[in-house]
Amino acid sequence: MSQSTVTSPDRFVELQTFVLVAQQGSFSAAARQREVSPSAVSKVVARLESRLGVQLLRRSTRRLELTAEGEQLLEQGQQLLADWMALESAVTQQGQPSGLVRINASSSTGNRLLVPLVGQIMQTWPGLQLDLSFTDHIVDLIAARADIALRWGELRSSDMVARKLGSTRQVVVASPEYLKRFGKPEHPDDLANHVRIGWNYPRAIPHWPFVVAGQAVAIGMGDVLRVNDGEAMANLAKAGAGLARLSLYHAWDDLHAGCLQPVLEDFNPGELQPIHAVYVGKPGQLPVRTRAVLDFLAQHVDLSHAERKPVHLLTAGA
């Protein structure tokens, strides 16, 4: 082996180091991750820039900024590293999923749909590590470094790929105590005399849809009480604070227990709201670990009950 071969830089380490610096936003943070000194990290990046003959990072006293060439290398370099990790996993573990999978979901969906499945996922693939983030704010998957996000509703066109897991009806509900105190609305027009618990984030639909005499009608949510969390909305309805429009999936247990009752079902348009597992990347090029979790969710998320009518649920004793 020639001397030049022995002393040539490890290009894979250079790429790993650069990607880590770009993701962490500083040499110091990347150095802590690699358990080396910041100067060592800086030298590796400088060596990479020298070999490529381009500047990848603009350094200032406060932050690092990627050049156009740096952004190109980061985007393609991340995919290259992910592909390499997937290849190593397939070769060394006969394709058994291993490594970290980050999943993002709303608070209510994460707790009701995902949490009950986590134990089985970990038991099926002991080599997996799961990082779960629950928030009712839409996050940028790339910025949040999330592999999968669970999202309700129709999706806007984007660079993300969506895999449908199921769908659910929407239903207006109230607690028996609330209906006893304020009366049961018999027509959408009656909602003017009731508190309607709504959402307070920009992407929310600002009205409740109904069908009256074959015509679509939209009733505003009102401004009395608004929240940004699905569990909080359900809990407020159960506490008698007002009416809420929830997915049947989220209201199912409370309807069964009698904590909530459906109202205005004769005017319910019956539209189905889908839930998708969304991710960035091409389906055929996903890491083994990400594809395994997606396949598991597609097989084990069961929303067949969530398309039924609450009236039937309560009268049939299902």
118-171 tens-digit pLDDT: 999 999 999 899 999 887 776 677 777 788 988 887 766 566 688 888 888 899
Q: How confident is the model at residue 259 (pLDDT cuts 50, 70, 90)?
A: very high
Q: Residue 61: its pLDDT value, please?
A: 64
pLDDT of residue 115: 93
CB 272 within 8 A of CB 168: yes
Report the percentage of the chain scoring pLDDT > 70: 84
Rounded to whole angstroms, how far apart are CA atoms 198 and 213?
A: 25
Burial code of 190-203, b = ≥16 C-beta within 10 A, e = fewer?
ebeebbbbbbeeee
> Among positive and negative, which fits the CA dihedral 263, 265, 269, 273?
positive
Topology of the domain comprising 3-78: Arc Repressor Mutant, subunit A (1.10.10)
pLDDT digits (tens, 9 = 90+) for 60-112: 767 788 899 988 898 888 888 887 776 666 555 555 788 889 998 888 888 88
* pTM reported for the whole predicted model: 0.62
Task: Please tell me the predicted confidence (pLDDT) of residue 217.
Answer: 92
List Cα–Cα distances, 119 to 108, 114, 124, 126, in angstroms: 18, 10, 9, 10
pLDDT digits (tens, 9 = 90+) for 264-297: 999 999 888 888 898 877 666 678 888 899 999 9
* Average pLDDT over all residues of the chain: 83
Structure tokens at 296: 């598991």
Which pLDDT score, from 0 to 100, does residue 1 have? 38
Helix axes 38-52 and 27-34, enclosed angle (nearest 10): 110
Domains 92-166+274-305 and 168-271+306-316 share a fold: yes
What residue type is assigned to position 130 of the chain?
A: L
CA nearest 264: which of 181, 177, 200, 169? 169
User: Exposed, middle or buried by CB within 10 Å (0-12, 13-18, 19+), for 279?
Assistant: buried
Could you read off the pLDDT of 160-207 as tens digits, one per residue?
688 888 888 899 999 999 999 999 999 999 999 999 998 886 556 778
Q: Where are the domains of the chain?
A: 3-78, 92-166+274-305, 168-271+306-316
CATH of domain 92-166+274-305: 3.40.190.10
Query: Contact 236/244 with Cβ under 8 angstroms?
Result: yes
Burial tier of 109 (Cβ tally within 10 Å: 0-12, 13-18, 19+): buried
- Return the CATH superfamily for domain 168-271+306-316: Periplasmic binding protein-like II (3.40.190.10)
